[in-house]
Amino acid sequence: METVHHHFSRIAHKYEDIRTTDLEPILFIKKKLQNLTKIEAVDIGCGVGRYDIKLFHHLGDKFHLTCTDYNKDMLDELTTNLKEREIKNFKAIKTPAEDLPLSANSMDCMFTFNAVHHFKFLDFLKEAYRVLRNNGYMFIYTRLRSQNKRNIWGRYFPKFNEKEKRLYELNELEKILNEIPALKLESVEYFKYKRIADLAWLITQASNHHYSTFYLYDEKEFKDALQEFQENIAHHFKNLDRITWYDENIMLVIRKTVKGNGIQTQQ
């Protein structure tokens, strides 16, 4: 089976077109950072820059962003996407989330959007602690396993929940976060979006593997599941041109505290 790395290389050129990008978390971040006159930030697992474009639009000239991803094809698309929009205050770095080539205490804030389930979470948090300045923010936008089960794919696409084991529940994220006492969970924000789409668009998204979960199916298994998904949708929705459901996400708002004790070691 191909690796997730190859999956992202294959879909990089069309990723922006097949994924939904939410504005609400960007507006929340904008409000949270409104008192900063200059923002040095890093987006971990930036992909093709979908959320970075919105960050630049709403944070303006005071914002300088380092965009990191492990996949070169994604970064190439990001560079093209940002330059096409005449965005210049950024640099792109190919690197794993757990080993960032950034100086200690160098960033005012860190972001990661729908990517943390691809990281070794504790190692990533250790890097966040090292890289963030005192009082710096980290915003982790993701979906929980339980939220994933309630969306259109979790409810109607066969084996989707069985395949997707990488997502966390909130208590699991909090337990790992507690191992870095200097990183304090300031709040957990909940987001819920009403989605409307026709069946043809849903088939297009799935066929293009817009969620990496779909690469976990083999070819025949996916083909059979896609057919059953269409039958399930036809059975549960009267109007196949206007299928309605809700997507859910959370955002962890984390702060590096001056008085924290750093990384907790196991005895």
- Taking only the tens place, the pLDDT of each residue in 5-29 is 677 777 667 777 778 899 999 999 9
Distance of CA 245 to the CA centre of its chain: 20
What does the pLDDT read at residue 92? 97
Return d(Cα 174, Cα 179) in angstroms, integer: 9
pLDDT band at 1 (very low <50, low <70, confident <90, very high): very low
Domain ranges across the chain: 4-153+164-194+249-256
Beta bridge partners of 75: none
What does the pLDDT read at residue 265? 44
pLDDT band at 130 (very low <50, low <70, confident <90, very high): very high
The answer on pLDDT for 4 being more than 60 is yes
Domain 4-153+164-194+249-256 fold is: Rossmann fold (3.40.50)
What does the pLDDT read at residue 12? 67
Region 44-54 average pLDDT: 96
Pairing of strands 132-142, 183-197: unpaired
Instruction: Give the phi and the psi of residue 81 in degrees, each rounded to 5.
Output: -65, -40
Q: Which of 118, 137, 152 has its CA nearest to residue 189?
A: 137
pLDDT band at 260 (very low <50, low <70, confident <90, very high): low
- pLDDT of 70-117, one tens digit each? 999 999 999 999 999 999 999 999 999 999 999 999 999 999 999 999
**Residues 139/265/120/167 CA torsion (nearest 10 deg):** -70
Q: Which of 88, 142, 140 has its CA nearest to residue 109?
A: 140
What does the pLDDT read at residue 263? 59
- Asked whether 81 and 53 are in contact (CB, 8 A), the reply is yes
For the chain, the first-to-last Cα distance in angstroms comes to: 39
Return d(Cα 213, Cα 189) in angstroms, integer: 24
Average pLDDT score over the chain: 93
Region 201-207 average pLDDT: 96
